[in-house]
Structure 1
Amino acid sequence: MRTLRRPGSLLWPAVLVALACTAPAAAADPIATQPIATQPIASCAPAFAAPAVPAGVPFLDWSENVGYDAQGNLWVSRTYRNEVQRYNRSGALTATVPVEFPGAVRSGPDGLLYVVYGDSPTSAIRPGGVVRFDPSAANPKPEVFVSGFTFPNGAAFDETGDLYVASTVGVVRVRRDGSVDTAWTGKAAKLGANGIVAQGRSLYVTSNGGPLGQILRISIDDPSNQTAVADLASSLPGVPDFADDLLVDADGILYVTTLSGQLVRIDPASGVACAVLSGAPLTSVVATPGQPDELLAGTEGGAVLRVQLAR
């Protein structure tokens, strides 16, 4: 039985909090190119993974979330180190920015980088929120954009520039001026919301508040309109799985990461789901700019994987 839980789950040991504040930082190496051992699932064309950023100290270097800025730099949330890290196109570590228990990392419509903070049970007494900063600065300085959230984790911008933050109590809509749309948010309550992505006038959300592993579609225009498009417990063999982060590709196909280490491909139109990769527990996923068949995935072990999809 696992005794450790990811930051976005409901159980989380206090000892890791201490580690995050006291352990020395691990050095980053250049991008590696040799493939790592993975176990593709036969029901789908398999994807293949290789390390893009190698693992550091187990769990301490947990890569909770990954995202790109407008300049093409990769940002990685190191939740237990209380920082986000910037890597250039060569894979070299070029900056670290202090953020308390960081979660999702998203580039905003204004070119600033937005980072969820407070992705921890401590947010029940010390609320989380979102900070933002200039990702191109030599030493970026984060400032609070919005606060007051309980256990926030995922984040996504819609086509008009509004920000949506997934938390354990539901989805919060934040206007471009940093104010919370309380009326909209009150209709988007969903226990256990975790990852979130926007497509057109819809949001797709991973939900683990009962049952585990649901993928929901929420209408931006009517957030009370919520539809389950997939249920990993019934779609995939094995025990119910924790659905973590997700993205939507140019064809409208969803890719979802899970606690058991699966990368799941979902057609939201039909609800058909299949795992294309299985290995180490996956925490997050992002599309590689300019590479339609390539994703990057964060892991509990700290490595960031480059995932090559089969088409």
Structure 2
Amino acid sequence: MRRLRSRGPLLWIAALVALACTAPVADAKPIAPAEPIASCAPALAATAVPASIPVLDWAENIGYDAQGNVWVSRVYRNVVQRYDRSGALTATVPVEFPGAVRSGPDGLLYVVYGDTPTSVFRPGGVVRFDPTAVDPKPEVFVSGLASMPNGAAFDADGYLYLGASLSGVIRVRPDGSIDTDWTAQAPETSANGVVVHDRVLYVTSNGGPLGRILRIPIDAPGSPSTVADLSSPVPGVPDFVDDLLIDPAGILYVTTIFGQLVRVDPATGAACAVLNGEPLTSVVAIPGQSGQLMAGTESGAVLRIQLPR
């Protein structure tokens, strides 16, 4: 999700506070002043794909196809790009303000579009295409979402869940129609990243307070609970949570605009930062490589991350 582009910390903090005051609230509770997240065993990060033009190449999201190619949403370029295992660029597909990139149960690649506040006037949705094609041609799967859609995740039954910054979580049926009854029960919060694990959605939310991770039961979307509220390295200042993944052991890894990659245990809410650096937009596990992640950044570089063993 995009925010003010200035790197000045006071402007960042002002933007965070303003959003916290205006965004919808999922389950409002008094929040104690945030303390900086403790560090834990550090991860190692190296650049896998450099940015050719910093910021213009902003890597909003990352996903893998079944062939092991990595796809990167270049939101300011209005494209998603395919890179092979060597890091070579092999395809560029036009998608307007692309967000999450996810491989679907049918083998097609699904890309959220309209990840911009202007989706209120020019609604977004989801396109899909064959990722194995030499020149992939996107087709519309979902349209008409005036809610700034961004994150996405499929469940085992083929339903697609979209994190929408201006409305909350949207459930899409396998035929591309919106499940309005389920969606109406889900919390109205500023949703961003979404992952599915054991009939539960984990959602990053910045809708009062900032930095919240929600647990939403798929079978009871009207009964969300808070997993954790993440803080920044600045004492008393919450962080802005962006994307997240869940590993096979059920541990969450969450990216933030303060450049943290935070490890969160959903069972206890315990959190610690395994990485601190530049603002991180997205994170995905590298298929078949335990403890290896890829992360997008606001600069546009894609990082390869080795988690501590």
State the partner residue of 1:37: none
Distance in 2 between residues matched to 1:307 and 1:237, nearest whole Å: 26
Q: Which residue of 1 is the match for residue 229 of structure 2?
A: 231
Task: Percent identity, please.
Answer: 72
**Alignment check: 8 A CA contact 1:235 1:272 kept:** no
In 1, are the aligned partners of 2:242 and 2:281 still within 8 Å (CA)?
Answer: yes
Question: Which letter maps to 2:278?
Answer: A
Kindly provide the amino acid, as one letter, of the partner of residue 307 in structure 1: I
Cα distance between partner residues in 1 of 2:46 and 2:232:
30
- 5 Å-filtered alignment, 1:67-216, equals 67-149=63-145, 150-168=147-165, 169-216=167-214
TM-score normalised by the chain length of structure 1: 0.86
User: 5+ unaligned residues in a row in structure 1: which ranges?
Assistant: 12-40
Residues 273-284 of structure 1 mapped to structure 2, 5 A cutoff: 273-284=271-282
Identify unmatched segments of 5+ residues in structure 2.
8-14, 16-36
Shift of 1:237: 4.9
The letter for the 1-side match of 2:156 is E
Give, as a single letter, the amino acid of the residue that structure 2 aligns with 1:164. Y
User: CA deviation digits over 1:286-311, x for unaligned, max 9?
Assistant: 00011111100000000000000002
Shift of 1:233: 3.0
Amino acid aligned to 2:98: P
Please tell me the residue identity of whatever aligns with 2:92.
T
* Per-residue Cα deviation, 1:42-66 (whole angstroms, up to 9, x for no partner): 7300001001101121111000000
Is the CA contact 1:235–1:274 (under 8 Å) kept in the aligned structure 2? no
**Amino acid paired to 2:256:** T
Alpha carbons of structure 1 residues 185 and 119: separation in structure 2 relative to 1, 3 Å: same
Aligned length: 277
CA distances 1:201-235 after superposition (whole Å, capped 9, x unpaired): 00000000110000000000010010100110399
Cα separation, 2, equivalents of 1:253 and 1:280: 23
The one-letter amino acid of 2:248's match is A
| Paired residue secondary structure (2:245) | strand
Bigger mean CA offset, 166-175 vs 184-193 = 184-193
CA distance in 2, matches of 1:53, 1:3: 24
Letter in 2 for 1:231: D
Partner of 2:34: none
Counterpart AA for 1:191: T
**Distance in 2 of aligned mates of 1:48 and 1:305:** 10
Query: Which residue identity does 1:158 align to in structure 2?
Result: D
1:134-189 deviation digits (Å, cap 9, x = unpaired): 00000000000011211000000001111000002110000100011000000113
Alpha-carbon distance, 1:191 to partner = 1.9
The letter for the 2-side match of 1:59 is V
Taking only aligned residues, the RMSD between alpha carbons, in angstroms, comes to 1.8
Quickly say closer, same or farther: Cα 1:42–1:215, change in 2 above 3 A.
Answer: closer
CA distance in 1, matches of 2:178, 2:232: 35
Amino acid at match of 2:245: L
Q: Is the 8 A contact 2:187 2:224 kept in 1?
A: no
2 CA distance for matches of 1:111 and 1:178?
A: 16
- The answer on whether the counterparts of 1:194 and 1:245 sit within 8 Å (CA) in structure 2 is yes
Could you give the per-residue CA deviations for residues 12-48 of structure 1, whole angstroms, max 9, x where no partner exists? Answer: xxxxxxxxxxxxxxxxxxxxxxxxxxxxx87300001
Greater RCO structure (CA 8 Å; 6+ sep): 2
